[in-house]
Amino acid sequence: MIPANRTDFEVIVVGAGFSGICAAIRLRQAGIHDFVVLDKADDVGGIWRDNTYPDVGVDIPIWGYCFSFEPNPDWRYAYAKGHELQTYAAHCVEKYGVREHLRLGIEVTGMRFDDERDQWNLQTGRGRLRARFVINAYGAFGRPKMPDITGLNSFAGTVIHSARWDNTTPLMGRVGVIGTGSSAVQIIPEVAERAERLTVFQRTPIWVIPKPDFRIPRLLRMAFRLLPGLLSVPRWIVLVWLEVLYNGVFRFKLPFTVTALEWAAGRSLRAQVPDPALRERLSPRYRFGCKFLTLSNRYYKTFARDNVRLISENIESATATGVTTADGQHHEIDTLIMATGFEVFERTSLPRYPITGTVGVDLGDYLHDNRNVCYEGVTLPPCPNAFIIHGPYSMTGSFFMTIENAVAHAVRCIIEAQRRGATRVAVKAEPYARFAEEMIARQAASIFYNSNCEAARSFYFDQHGDVPLFRPSTSIEAWWRMRRFPLADYAFSTCAAAEQQTGQRETS
Ligand code: NAP
């Protein structure tokens, strides 16, 4: 057990979502126990802790959305609900002994590398902490984006963001939802059933395909519990499906998959919305894949309800009583739900907090002035001993495989540094540049540059016009490279003051 008053660690993991939990599990399995996992919230679970809006759930069949080493026989739905993911996170924390490493309710507000001692100094809401290595596992969708609407401060009703849901939010009266992304597609049908009137403000329509969801029969769950090996069957089916989808659609390797999914979405729209004018307004003008894969069996038909209005005029301003659109119409609203997404590549969110690397380089400026790239999606030359789990060019078809890959990379670097007695490990400039060039060149063949994605207003594009959210490679290639990257791509070094520091920590 690590004493509560300790401030100096071998490793600090920032974030107790699935990435942080995975890092903690792998560190322990690698024999590293001198670490803590910090999270600003009072519980684990990351996005599944924060996103509790009605009907929140995964958009990927659940057997492909869990750790490879911890299959779960108890999922109740093929597309599990948010609370099931939250229960799964807590289960992993207990089963793998992560609990004793948790330091919850501590927000990291910045970190600075000490070149003299080869260590990171972290500023937190509860004082300063130090660590030789830092694993930034804060996730990609942690900072909600509020829309910049003139007069919003004067709105007298309730305003709530989808990622900061409050179950006491009044949903019975006149409710407005701004946004029609993946979160909104889940929220809108639920709110429509409760609200007296629902007004949906759509800026860009979204492709929505049917969701082949079903309750997993109790007998099948029992079979999974008795014969855990059986779980690998649905898991591999889903992983292969994700791989086809990811490479076929995003990487544009199989353009017919894009056409097939557009056909499925169009068919669902025609079946659920009889009014051709309304259908027209719900139809995207960009290709499927320019935005996140979105599934629902209820979204389109919600717009055929008498108490639901679709507003596709741009929002001009907000007043005390509602929202005014560009056509001069004023829409009376009591509760305004912002399903407006997250700051992903904004200067304020990448990195999540100020990170000052070696020789005082500000990481935010570095990424902004160059391109948003991490070597293999994980490391940067000015940030020795630091790893980012959802770094640019890390994400492949499976979210959990992405996490496990990045954690494997980070742990390999730490173990190798310890084996060599090194106090500093930093990716070299040349392999970093080579990786950046390779990813950007490969991305040029993706759907993002070979269809009309500019009409999608997709948050996938960063300020450079790049799409660093996705790694243009198969999951297998990423899996292999994250575990077999040449160690010569890193510089390992030792400084005497740092070694002394380690010695002091070991004897304390
Ligand atoms: P999002 O995809 O970024 O969608 C935000 C929506 O808000 C868009 O429709 C956007 O319109 C609209 N919007 C933003 N500012 C606006 C403004 N000023 N006026 C009018 N409309 C505005 O965000 P999200 O739906 O929260 O999803 C974000 C990501 O979270 C997804 O890509 C996905 O990775 C993840 N997610 C996953 C799941 C799941 O697996 N179950 C569920 C939800 C979310 P424009 O399109 O015109 O910009």
Q: Dump the DSSP string for 74-88.
A: T--BSS-BHHHHHHH
What single DSSP character describes residue 248? I
pLDDT at position 74 over 80: yes
Phi and psi, residue 41, nearest 5°: -85, 175
Dihedral sign, Cα of residue 16, residue 22, residue 23, residue 27: positive
In eight-state DSSP terms, residue 233 is H
Let me know if residue 387 belongs to a domain: yes
Residue 241: count other Cβ atoms within 10 Å of its Cβ.
Answer: 14
- The mean per-residue pLDDT over the stretch 274-286 comes to 97
Q: Is the CB of 292 under 6 A from ligand 1?
A: yes
pLDDT (mean) for 449-471: 94
Q: What is the pLDDT of residues 125-156, one digit of tens each?
A: 999 999 999 999 998 898 999 999 999 999 99
Between CA 255 and CA 210 the distance in angstroms is 20
Q: 201 and 117, same structural domain? A: no
Q: How far apart are CA 209 and CA 272, in angstroms?
A: 12
Q: Is 339 in the pocket of ligand 1 (CB under 6 A)?
A: yes
| Residues whose CB is less than 8 angstroms from the CB of residue 103 and which lie 6 or more positions away in sequence, other chains included | 36, 37, 38, 39
Do 315 and 420 fall into the same domain?
A: no
**pLDDT confidence tier of residue 2, bands split at 50, 70 and 90:** confident
Nearest residue (CA) to ligand 1, atom 24: 341
User: Residue 261 above 90 pLDDT?
Assistant: yes
Contacts of residue 61, Cβ cutoff 8 Å, sequence gap at least 6: 78, 79, 234, 238, 241
Please tell me the residue having the least CA distance from ligand 1 atom 28: 341
The per-residue pLDDT for range 330-377, each reduced to its tens digit, is 999 999 999 999 999 888 888 999 999 999 999 999 998 899 999 999
Distance 160 CA to ligand 1 centre (A): 14
**Interval between CA 292 and ligand 1 midpoint (Å):** 9
Is the Cβ–Cβ distance between 427 and 358 less than 8 Å?
Answer: no
Q: Which of 146, 183, 238 to mutate to test the pocket of ligand 1 (most atoms within 8 A of CB)?
A: 183
Do 108 and 247 lie in a common domain?
no
Q: In this predicted structure, what is the pLDDT of residue 349? A: 86
Which tokens hold the place of 195?
A: 């609200």
Q: Which of 338, 372, 390 is at the close of a domain?
A: 338
Distance from residue 229's CA to the centre of ligand 1 (Å): 37
More confident residue, 167 or 218: 218
* pLDDT score for 5: 83
Same domain, 167 and 245: yes
Residues 171 and 316 reside in one and the same domain: yes
Is residue 369 assigned to a domain?
yes
Classify residue 146 by its DSSP letter. Answer: P
Percent of the chain past pLDDT 90, that is, above it, reads 92
Does any domain span residue 195?
yes
State the pLDDT at residue 259.
Answer: 96
User: Cβ(189)–Cβ(196) under 8 Å?
Assistant: no
Looking at the fold, whether 81 and 23 belong to one and the same domain comes out as yes
Q: CA dist 381 to 221, 359, 361, 437, 507, Å? A: 47, 11, 10, 15, 32
Q: Into how many domains does the chain fold?
A: 2
Mean pLDDT of 197-222: 97
Is the shortest distance between the CB of 381 and ligand 1 below 6 Å?
Answer: no
Q: Give the mean model confidence (pLDDT) for residues 171-186.
A: 97
E-assigned strands of 343-429?
Answer: 355-356, 386-388, 424-427
Residue 358: name the closest of 393, 386, 391, 392 by CA.
386
The type of residue at 122 is: L
The rounded mean pLDDT for the chain is 95
Parent domain of 273: 152-338
What local confidence, expressed as pLDDT, does residue 487 receive?
98
Q: Is residue 1 part of a domain?
A: no
Distance between first and last Cα of the chain: 13
Encoded tokens for 289: 């894949």
Do the beta carbons of residue 283 and residue 293 sit within 8 Å? no
The Cβ of residue 418 has, within 10 Å, a number of other Cβ atoms equal to 18
Say if residue 115 is in the same domain as residue 185: no
Per-residue confidence (pLDDT) for residue 3, from 0 to 100:
78
Cα angle for residues 216, 221, 223 (degrees, 5° grid): 135
What are 81's two structure tokens? 């609900």
Q: Is the pLDDT of residue 275 over 90?
A: yes
Q: Which atom of ligand 1 is nearest to the CA of 60?
A: 40
| Residue 230 in domain | yes
In a domain, 3, yes or no: no
> Would you call 217 helix, strand, or coil by DSSP?
coil
Q: Of 318, 338, 358, at which residue does a domain stop?
A: 338
The answer on 174 and 120 residing in a single domain is: no
Q: How many helices (H) and strands (E) does the chain have?
A: 14, 18
Q: Is 179 in the pocket of ligand 1 (CB under 6 A)?
A: yes
- Ligand 1 midpoint to CA 439 (Å): 25
Closest-CA residue, ligand 1 atom 4, reads 181
Number of the ligand 1 atom closest to the C-alpha atom of 180: 9
Same-domain status, 305 and 244: yes
From 59, 331, 340, give the residue whose CB has the most ligand 1 atoms within 8 Å, as the site to mutate: 340
Q: Position of tokens 């330091």?
A: 103
Closest CA to 376 of 280, 490, 463: 490
Residue finishing a domain among 338, 368, 391? 338
C-alpha separations of 284 from 202, 287, 452, 499 in Å: 11, 8, 11, 59
- Token digits for 392? 């640019």
Predicted local confidence at residue 46, as pLDDT: 95
Residues 462, 352 share a domain: yes
Q: For residue 400, which of 392, 391, 410, 390 has the smallest C-alpha distance?
A: 390
By alpha-carbon position, which residue is closest to atom 20 of ligand 1? 203
Task: Write out pLDDT tens, residues 365-408.
Answer: 999 889 999 999 999 999 999 999 999 999 999 999 999 999 99
From the CB of 238, is ligand 1 less than 6 Å away? no
Pair 331, 350 in one domain: no
**CA of residue 339 to ligand 1 center, whole Å:** 6
Least confidently predicted of 9-13, 185-189, 498-502: 498-502
CA 97-228-79 angle, 5° bins: 85
CATH code (residue 32): 3.50.50.60
- For the cut 70, the answer to whether the pLDDT of residue 507 exceeds it is no
pLDDT at 347: 83
Residues 164 and 127 placed together within one structural domain of the fold: no
Nearest CA owner, ligand 1 atom 14:
340
pLDDT, average across residues 251-257: 92
Q: Cα–Cα distance between 448 and 460 in angstroms, integer?
A: 9
Task: Tell me if 55 is assigned to some domain.
Answer: yes
The type of residue at 274 is P
- Taking the centre of ligand 1 as the mean of its atom positions, its distance from the CA of residue 150, in whole angstroms, is 20
**Average pLDDT of span 424-443:** 97
The answer as to whether 426 is a domain residue is yes
* Coil, helix or strand at residue 46: coil
Q: Is the pLDDT of residue 499 over 90?
A: no
Determine how many CB atoms are found less than 10 A away from the CB of residue 213: 16
Q: Is the peptide bond before 472 cis (omega within 30 degrees of 0)?
A: no
Q: Are 201 and 318 in contact (CB under 8 A)?
A: no
**Per-residue pLDDT at 508 exceeds 70:** no
Whether residue 59 has pLDDT greater than 80: yes
Scan for tokens 């670097």, then name that residue.
Answer: 413
Give the list of residues 6+ apart from residue 260 with CB closer than 8 angstroms, or none: none
Query: Ligand 1: which atom is nearest the Cα of residue 184?
Result: 25
- Alpha-carbon span 358 to 383, nearest angstrom: 6
Helix, coil or strand: residue 263: helix
Nearest CA to 40 out of 90, 102, 121 is that of 102
b or e along 141-156 (b: 16 or more beta carbons within 10 Å of the residue's beta carbon)?
A: bbbbbebebeebeebe
